[in-house]
């Protein structure tokens, strides 16, 4: 048995629509090892989830002990591994007591999937980020304010008294990726450089006239062609226009609120840079840390339930 | 020699960034034959345009006569076959006198490319649709109003005294295709059916609050998941939201104006259906007919110049 298998107590999983992330955990919440794999949910039948997971973790499993797996994300959707029905707002983010237990053929694993959240009006859904919210609330149980959960689909969630009061999803990140990689703009927005002034101006521009978005996007192409605008400026403008339009629409969420942005890397920084000039106190937290905190809270609660 | 080759007098060409369309023409403007081919301009070096064209038309060419080719579109861009520098607004749409003649190795063809149009502020470009404008003005020389040139990039052009006074490009059609085919929404918007009420409501919705677009787009997914919304409704909503947001931004163009929508098929109908409730007189014209009219006007003018 490897040293890792000896120490492994449980596995944390964030199983999204295109990506699976796994963390091999000790009993006191330390990460022994991280794994990540592309995984298109459209291509997986329900009975293919278990072998997909086993393939990735088999080398780490100890003999003679059952390892709990606590998962969140799209694996719990109707088209996923097993449906974990969503909690409706207003509600606490789902935790252990509403997790569903999945029958597995392989007896070395004991799999639980956490539900997502839904909202009837305006119609909305999340599967995965509610666990980041649970993780954030585990450390900040009295938080009253707004969480901006940045990602391919960024969600703004109003939190009060430990509950998600309401939330709203924006496809901004997915639009950004489609436009940067697959549209006319792929020629003029690919860059590892970044122009901070162009970003700030584009955010302002889109916030003051968000309707004009589809036209301002074409302007990035026209400005590159007519005025030799650099790709660093093009990339910053594309991000700035999309995030600015989102901020205009999400104003009821952030205006006058304490905002914590949860995310990673460039996208987190972009939201932070866009929000700070608006004069609210803005804090940030790592999406990975919050996901792990949420899954850990569920793992601990499950253990308590069993005793 | 085939019967078509006997009758062929000139070739009309619309050479866009992803598609080449050709019409074999008689001397009096009748179409003998239509051809169309996928053709990604990114993959063509300047010296590959001639063989690409020859491959497509060689079977139709007569012996002993030189056939003029009149082309519009991205073939005239810097990255195209040969650059035809754009006319700046305000200006008449470019015609024969500003066409550039391309040197060809094959002496059976005599190739001319029409320039596009540019606008310095706000920065904008068109290559192809200016020829539709020229075609429309050839039949309607006194038109004073707005042309809505619908397509992957829809352009609103303010026309007065035979000139394009200003124009504005929206990436609406390209966004629609990316979202319907390659985003999360591909599952909930693919349909050959169409819900007219859902379209009308989505147009109104987006016009009254265009900022919320990226969130309303996600709602299509949420409504399908929560309320079993049909794909016919999803598809109509997606179109309606994008076109509604464009109409909100293009209001300075259409408000109180005579509007002619130039386009084809479903997209033309969608713009027409969206605009009519707004109370302006809306007419329509076929994009293909207008392109051919514009290229024909250039062909006739070239013949006059030579005499």
Q: Where are the domains of chain B?
A: 3-140+288-306, 170-286
* Sequence-ordered list of residues with C-beta below 8 angstroms from that of B254, at least 6 positions apart, any chain: B146, B148, B156, B247, B275, B278, B280
The answer to whether the beta carbons of residues A156 and A148 sit under 8 Å apart is: yes
Q: Computed from CA positions of residues B136, B140, B141, B146, in that sequence, does the dihedral angle turn out positive or negative?
A: negative
Residues of chain A with pLDDT under 70: 1, 305-307
Say if B3-140+288-306 and B170-286 have the same CATH topology.
yes
CATH superfamily of A170-286: 2-keto-3-deoxy-galactonokinase, C-terminal domain (3.30.420.310)
Question: B126: nearest CA in chain A?
Answer: A222
Please state, rounded to an integer, the average pLDDT across all residues of chain A: 95
A228 at the B interface (CB within 8 A)?
A: no
Give me the pLDDT at residue B212, please: 87
CA distance A19 to A39: 5
Please state, rounded to an integer, the average pLDDT across all residues of chain B: 95
Asked whether the beta carbons of residue B209 and residue A249 sit closer than 8 angstroms, the reply is: yes
A121 at the B interface (CB within 8 A)?
A: no
Chain centroid to Cα A71, Å, comes to: 14
Asked whether the beta carbons of residue B226 and residue A118 sit closer than 8 angstroms, the reply is: yes
Q: Is the pLDDT of residue B307 over 60?
A: no
Give me the pLDDT at residue B140, please: 97
CA distance B168 to B159: 12
Give me the pLDDT at residue B306, please: 61
Q: Is the pLDDT of residue B128 over 60?
A: yes
Give me the pLDDT at residue B304, please: 75
Q: Computed from CA positions of residues B265, B269, B270, B272, in that sequence, does the dihedral angle turn out positive or negative?
A: positive
Question: B183: nearest CA in chain A?
Answer: A174
**Which helix (H) or strand (E) element contains residue A272?**
helix A265-275
Dump pLDDT digits (tens) for B36-47. 999 999 899 999
Distance from CA of B211 to the nearest CA of A (A): 5
Distance from CA of A86 to the nearest CA of B (A): 10
Asked whether the beta carbons of residue B123 and residue A175 sit closer than 8 angstroms, the reply is: no
**Which chain B residues have a beta carbon less than 8 Å from that of A125?**
221-222, 225-226
What is the CATH code of the structural domain delimited by B3-140+288-306?
3.30.420.300
Give me the pLDDT at residue A303, please: 84
Dump pLDDT digits (tens) for B260-306. 999 999 999 999 999 999 988 899 999 999 999 999 999 999 987 66
The answer to whether the beta carbons of residues B135 and B94 sit under 8 Å apart is: no
**Which chain A residues have a beta carbon less than 8 Å from that of B209?**
249
Give me the pLDDT at residue A305, please: 62
Give me the pLDDT at residue B279, please: 87
CA distance B167 to B164: 7
Burial of residue B189, with CB atoms counted within 10 A of its CB: 0-12 exposed, 13-18 middle, 19 or more buried: buried
């Amino acid at each position: 048995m490897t040293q890792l298998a000896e120490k492994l107590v449980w596995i944390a999983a964030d199983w999204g629509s295109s990506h699976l992330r796994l963390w091999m955990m000790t009993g006191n919440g330390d990460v022994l090892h991280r794994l990540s794999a592309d995984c298109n949910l459209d291509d997986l039948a329900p009975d293919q989830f278990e072998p997909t997971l086993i393939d990735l973790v088999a080398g780490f499993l100890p003999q003679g002990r059952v390892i709990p797996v606590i998962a969140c994300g799209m694996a719990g959707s109707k088209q996923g591994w097993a449906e974990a029905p969503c909690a409706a707002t207003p509600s606490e983010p789902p935790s252990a007591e509403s997790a569903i237990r999945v029958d597995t053929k392989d007896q070395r694993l004991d799999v639980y999937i956490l539900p997502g959240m839904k909202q009837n009006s305006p119609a909305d859904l999340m599967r995965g980020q509610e666990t980041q919210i649970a993780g954030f609330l585990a450390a900040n149980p009295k938080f009253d304010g707004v969480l901006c959960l940045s990602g391919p689909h960024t969600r703004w969630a109003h939190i009060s008294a430990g509950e998600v009061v309401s939330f709203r999803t924006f496809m901004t990140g997915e639009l950004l990726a489609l436009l940067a990689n697959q549209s006319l703009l792929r020629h003029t927005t690919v860059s590892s450089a970044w122009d901070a002034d162009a970003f700030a101006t584009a955010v302002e521009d889109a916030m003051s006239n968000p309707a004009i978005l589809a036209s301002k996007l074409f302007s990035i192409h026209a400005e590159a062609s007519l005025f030799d605008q650099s790709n660093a400026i093009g990339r910053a403008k594309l991000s700035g226009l999309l995030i600015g339009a989102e901020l205009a629409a999400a104003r009821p969420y952030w205006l006058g609120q304490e905002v914590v942005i949860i995310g990673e890397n460039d996208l987190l920084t972009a939201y932070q840079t866009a929000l700070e000039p608006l004069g609210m106190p803005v804090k940030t937290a790592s999406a990975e840390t919050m996901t792990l905190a949420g899954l850990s809270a569920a793992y601990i609660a499950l253990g308590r339930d069993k005793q």
